[in-house]
Amino acid sequence: MVSRQTAFSSSSVRATTSLFPITPTHAHPEVMTRPSTEDLDRIVALAHADPHRVLGPHLEDGRLRLRVFRPAASAVWIRWGEEDAESAQPMMRLHAGGIFELHRDVDELPDPKAYRVELRDGPTASLSHDPYAFWPTLGDLDVHLMGEGKHRLLHHILGAHARVHQDVEGTAFAVWAPEAKRVSLVGDFNGWDGHSHAMRRLGSGVWEIFAPDVLEGALYKFEVWKSDGELIVKADPLGRQMQLRPSNASQVTVSRHPWDDAPWLERRAVSEPSQRPMSIYEVHLGSWRHRDGPQQHADRPNWLGYRELADELVDYVADLGFTHIELMPVMEHPFDGSWGYQVGGFYAPTSRYGTPDDFRALVDRCHQRDIGVIIDWVPAHFPKDAFALGRFDGTALYEHLDPRKGEHRQWGTYVFNYGRNEVRNFLIANALYWLDEFHVDGLRADAVASMLYLDYAAERPADWAPNKYGGRENLEAIAFLRELNDAVHERFPGAMVIAEESTAWPGVTHGTATGGLGFDFKWNMGWMHDTLAYFAKDGVFRSYHHQLLTFGLLYAFSERFVLPLSHDEVVHLKKSLLSKMAGDRWQMFANLRALLAHMWAHPGKKLLFMGAEIGQWTEWDESKPLDWALLDVPEHAGLHRLVRDLNSCYRRYPALYEADDRPEGFRWIDANDIQQSVASTLRFPLPHQRPSGPNPADDYLVCVANLTPVPRERYRIGVPARRRHVEILNTDAVPYGGSGMGNLGAVEVSDEPCHGYQQSLELTLPPLAVLWLVPE
């Protein structure tokens, strides 16, 4: 039903711009009524909720009365058609505050293109179409659906849309501000003066105006008159392009990008993400790599643009074999140091790296190279910057009024009011917007835990308010997340929503029909903390902490997980991934190689933050590029090569990804070799019926991790198949920077029973190394 309503809504937008009949009633509902003195006074005071009822052309008493409001003009003329200036008609002043009127004997209202308003200042004159001659660009159904919180194409009706309306080129503007006494459009086209483009109020608190002659590239904001009489100026909540900080005006934009990713989207629509390989390279676009040469601008680094990244970053990721790129927030944000997580423009790709079409080109190139794109999305909170969403119409509009529910004190931000229809609509439509307009393949929802718990990070009982049942669960946020995930999956099959949820909330990735939240994946923060804690310990002590390796398998199949080694783990004095590793230099490199191979063989999809693949020594700094010179050092180049080979094997062997969320996809060989700190496991693919016969890649995979700096000779493990086993990966191999100890590429099976199997392998385990083997 919702899908059908959305289709009607889209049609209504088209109808109001091309098929809506031109009648006085549609243009001005009370065309036969002369404006009162009070009406004129309210126009001058910018206090009229529907200035179109007074200004523009009206049929009154059998005559055309045309009124304009130009408070700074001493004389105003109306020029009809293409007539020369001498034939223009002067308007008489109707009100001392700057309202001018012209009478003319006609039987019908003129088309908006039939006349223009002329202001004369000595020998110069300015001509413009009359913004009050146009009917609304929003249909009643659009406004109704928005009030219900069901308008999934919200970006089609709100914001700025350059178009031809009633045969005149211009831009339609609309904004939601229900408690405002008046809203005006201001921009570089009217001197940022709210007098000339006061907007009319439609239903559901939506304000609208068509601004003729305002074209692509124009800068604009909304001037809002609060109920207490204060004027505030706000950027467009649905602005699709914004100025680069510190400026923050919205900008009219038009997309002309020719998409070339149809095959990718068709394959995505019929795929099941949980059964596909997913190896994610997490990127902060501003600090991955910079242009060479001195800094060109004092207020910005030498960032690569979206189109440069479409070449350099995409080639790099494709070469390393990652299946996906995850971009830290690309939504516009005023402060570089927030990394994008304090969003100022939820619908605008940041102008730091180019235009919205430039960003489309980056996504398109990824798809052409068979790389998916996931973007970080921030539905949990927003900053208090004066130009943005906070107290938008003078009231707590997008945020909850009660500070116990409406603020994250530890972050200094506002919390969305998930119980309000229009706010849920804003967020869900925003998620669909990025999937629709930019073809992204997934959203990683940031800080979901902060949404689920009313007492999240509360220091005192007075800091939070319980729900209606007295509990700490945020029932409104839970309902919102379920609605969000259902909407995404209904409209974009194959697209993903991933939760950064750091607690043991049950059913995060379970279906909404069975009481779950409906996410496709959840970050496995427990695995991340345990694993990093283990690898930070010296080898001599690891036998006392063996449970850090094994505990995660007790819950590994309760959700569909992503294993994250993200940006959060390499900042704020936590040290880089390489620097976290225990031991001296060779042990640190060996430990990191072992950690990555252990991670790639563990159930769950993979995420690695940029810089880990080259062994960055320093913490990540958003203002500096990665230290690419490290690749000239053999150990770093070896680590880089290992990541490429891990991804190659991962994509080749279905055992490593097909059954990530199923217990039958994993089996311990030996979880209890605590004294030697050795862990051995099996991974299995889903059973397949292949018409071409057996495929060797469908076999199981053996992973053996020796996590002390002591080699293990003649180490025996049991295996299911009585076959020779090939060593497909050894993190101690010389090309990776290791010593070269191993099994000469293969191991013969013996009939000696072990670990419950009738046959076994006798292995040489290199120090601080992981082996992968498959039956031949």
Q: Decide if 616 contacts 626 (C-beta within 8 A).
A: yes
CA nearest neighbour of 100 among 61, 145, 65: 65
Max Cα–Cα distance, the chain, nearest Å: 108
> Angle at which helices 585-601 and 634-652 pack, to 10 degrees?
10
> Is 538 labeled as catalytic in the residue annotation?
no
Strand order in the sheet with 746-747: 666-673, 678-683, 701-706, 769-775, 725-730, 746-747
Q: In what order do the strands lie in the sheet with 206-212?
A: 159-165, 168-176, 206-212, 200-201
User: 759-765 and 712-719 as β-strands: parallel, antiparallel, unpaired?
Assistant: antiparallel
**Cα distances (Å, whole numbers) of residue 771 to 581, 637, 665, 670, 731:** 19, 20, 19, 14, 7
The identity of residue 207, as a single letter, is W
Q: What is the CA radius of gyration of the chain?
A: 31
**Can 101 be counted among the known catalytic residues?**
no
Q: Is 154 left (phi over 0), alpha (psi -120 to 50) or beta?
A: alpha
User: Strand 496-499 and strand 442-445: pairing?
Assistant: parallel
Residues with Cβ within 8 Å of 457's Cβ and at least 6 positions away in sequence, in order, are 408, 409, 410, 450
Does residue 720 have a cis bond before it (omega within 30 degrees)? no
Q: At what angle do helices 2-14 and 475-491 cross, to 10 degrees?
A: 70
Beta partners for residue 200, in sequence order: 208
> Which stretch of DSSP H or E encloses residue 646?
helix 634-652
For residues 352 and 301, is the Cβ–Cβ distance under 8 A? no
Token duo for residue 473:
């669960």
Torsion angle of C-alpha atoms 344, 346, 351, 357, degrees rounded to 10:
-170
Nearest to 343 by CA among 235, 417, 499, 451: 235
751 with 758: CB under 8 angstroms?
yes
- Short-list 568, 768, 556, 578, CA closest to 668: 556
* Torsion angle of C-alpha atoms 384, 390, 391, 397, degrees rounded to 10: -150
Using an 8 Å Cβ cutoff, are 445 and 498 in contact? yes
Of 118, 326, 446, 501, catalytic: 446
Alpha-carbon gap, residue 97 to 771, rounded angstroms: 84
Which residue of the set 142, 326, 500, 559 is catalytic? 500
At residue 472, φ and ψ (nearest 5 deg) are -95, 0
How many residues can be counted in the chain? 776
Order of strands across the sheet that contains 99-104? 56-60, 63-69, 99-104, 92-95
Q: Residues 621, 525, 309, CA angle at the centre, nearest 5°?
A: 40
- What residues act catalytically? 446, 500
